[in-house]
Amino acid sequence: MCAAKSSSGVTLGRMISEPIFFLAAVLVAFGAISRPLSRSVVSAPMAFMLAGLGLGMTGVVDTAVDSDVLEAFGEITLGLILFADAASTDSRRLLKDNALPLRLLSLSLPLTIALGTGIARLIFPNLSWAECALIASILAPTDAALGVSVVTNTAAPERIRQAVLVESGLNDGLALPAVLLFAALAFCGMDAAGHAGDAASRSLAQWLQFAGVQIAVGAGAGALGGGALGWLLARADDRGLIAHGFRNLTTIGAALLVLIGAHFAGGNGFIATFVAGLFFGGFCRKRSAALTDFIEEEGQLFSLMIFFFFGAALLPAAFPFMTTACMSYALLSLTAIRMAPTVLALTGAGVSPQGKLFIAWFGPRGLASILFLFVAVDHEEMGRLTEIEAVVYLTVFLSVILHGATAAPLTKLYAASAASTADRSG
């Protein structure tokens, strides 16, 4: 009996430790040469994804991913990243210069979903309109972390960098209601001809109400929670009540409180954490840099872990289902489907043609799209990959490569151009 327990413990230990061992090895190897790599076309998400893919494809790492665990881990990771990004944003400047983010969120986002739906219908005639709209909605949110040079290179105009950051921070939450709506229509009763069954019979008014509640409650919870917690911790810190070792930990606690609290209140956690970060950073401005650096480091570690397992387990399982149609849509999603609506939305906003193309190109697809796929698809069916899952995974894979490789050189090129000077004062 004792021997059996010991054997079981060894087996369980190997199942847990083997992937983590190789993940730690990649972390050390990448970190050892991270400075020169930061000046190259190799980004951290790219390196971890490709390392995981190589280990997964060769069978060196056998990773059975529990999608429930990965989804929860991913939500926390994305929440921390959004909180840190927002806390580092100059909220006062954003209030004065919010035209670009508003155009991107109110015009470009819905146009991207609409155009993506139409093109998906042409490329995938076997899918229903709801399934095509689901693909477009899942791939609509952007992930600024995959092109970190775009938002951290201070040589580029602040209003352009801020527009990319704020769009990435808020479009996750704005796209989620659409993902849930089209998932319900696609998987709960809509056939290939586009006829909805009883299980997908929620009225448009109900879904609009749901979306409104998600956005309003999420933003409200973020503003209230971020403001209150920022004020409380700033006052406590000014009076010397917070031990040095807990200054950063309390900030992570604040981000998690807002994320989970928004869910309890019926709001969108992603919108809540981004808005909370804006208010929190306003109260803790004098130490926001140290706080956000700490959270970004923790968030980056979690994010890199997800990309490692994405490459090791999810991509290898999806490759057999990737067709020429999937490749065509993935490339169009990263180019025409993203760029045409963005350029149109920014017309008349005082942005140079080069600036429009710069913003339009840097719409990476990453963590949010992976999470939204888990939300949309029945977790029990994840082993039976569909065309929808394959095209989402392929788009994220290509985005990590293409946006990661072009972020630093294109940002440097744009920052040195005359168009950048014009956009700085626009």
Rg (CA), the chain: 22
Task: Please state the domain count of the chain.
Answer: 1
Q: What is the pLDDT of residue 291?
A: 60
Is residue 328 over pLDDT 90? Answer: yes
The whole-angstrom separation of Cα 51 and Cα 132 is 31
CATH number of the domain encompassing residue 51: 1.20.1530.20
Residue 37 lies in a domain: no
Tell me how far apart the alpha carbons of residues 352 and 153 are, in angstroms, rounded to a whole number: 19
What is the model's pLDDT at position 384? 46
Q: Categorise residue 322: left if φ over 0, alpha if ψ from -120 to 50, beta otherwise.
A: beta
Distance, CA of 400 to CA of 42 (rounded, Å): 10
| Model pLDDT, residue 7 | 46
Task: Give percent above pLDDT 70 in the chain.
Answer: 82
Contact 388, 134 (CB under 8 A): yes
Alpha helix stretches (DSSP H) within 153-197: 158-187
8 A C-beta contact, residue 49 and residue 237: no
pLDDT mean over 219-232: 92
Among candidate residues 7, 5, 149, 168, the one with its CA nearest the CA of residue 78: 168
Residue 145, CB-side half-sphere exposure with 13 Å CA sphere:
28
Q: Is residue 85 part of a domain?
A: yes
User: Please, which pLDDT band fits residue 193 given cuts at 50, 70 and 90?
Assistant: very low
Query: Among the listed ranges 13-17, 145-149, 360-364, which one has the minimum average pLDDT value?
Result: 13-17
Q: Region 218-234: what's the mean pLDDT? A: 92
Assess whether pLDDT exceeds 80 at residue 91.
no
pLDDT at res. 295: 62
Give the per-residue pLDDT at 294.
63
Q: Is position 106 within any domain?
A: yes
Digit-coded pLDDT (tens) for 43-67: 899 999 999 999 888 877 766 666 6
How far, rounded to the nearest angstrom, does the alpha carbon of residue 378 sit from its chain's CA centroid? 20
- Which is more confident, 75 or 16? 75
- Residue 27, helix vs strand vs coil: helix
Q: Let me know if residue 14 belongs to a domain.
A: no
CA of 402: how far to CAs of 19, 175, 399, 425, in Å?
26, 23, 5, 30
> Model confidence over 336-347: pLDDT tens digits?
999 999 999 999
What is the span of the domain harbouring residue 347?
45-55+64-425
CB-count exposure of residue 13 (10 Å: 0-12, 13-18, 19+):
exposed
Among the ranges given (88-97, 101-110, 119-128), the one the predictor scored with the smallest mean pLDDT: 88-97
407 inside domain: yes
pLDDT at residue 203 in the model: 54
> Phi then psi for 142, rounded to 5 degrees?
-110, 165
Confidence tier at 190 by pLDDT (50, 70, 90) = very low
pLDDT interval class at 92 (50, 70, 90): low
**Residue 191 predicted with pLDDT over 50:** no
Which pLDDT value is given to residue 383?
Answer: 43
Report, as an integer, the average pLDDT of 187-203.
Answer: 49
| Residue 360, domain member (yes or no) | yes
Q: Categorize the per-residue pLDDT at 288 as very low, low, confident or very high, splitting at 50, 70 and 90.
A: low
| Helix 247-265 with 204-238: angle, nearest 10 deg | 160
Residue at 313 is within a domain: yes
Asked if 70 and 374 count as a contact pair (C-beta separation under 8 A), the reply is yes
First-to-last CA distance in the chain? 75
Exposure of 382 in the CB half-sphere (CA atoms within 13 A)? 19
Q: What percent of the chain has pLDDT over 90?
A: 35
Q: Is residue 120 part of a domain?
A: yes
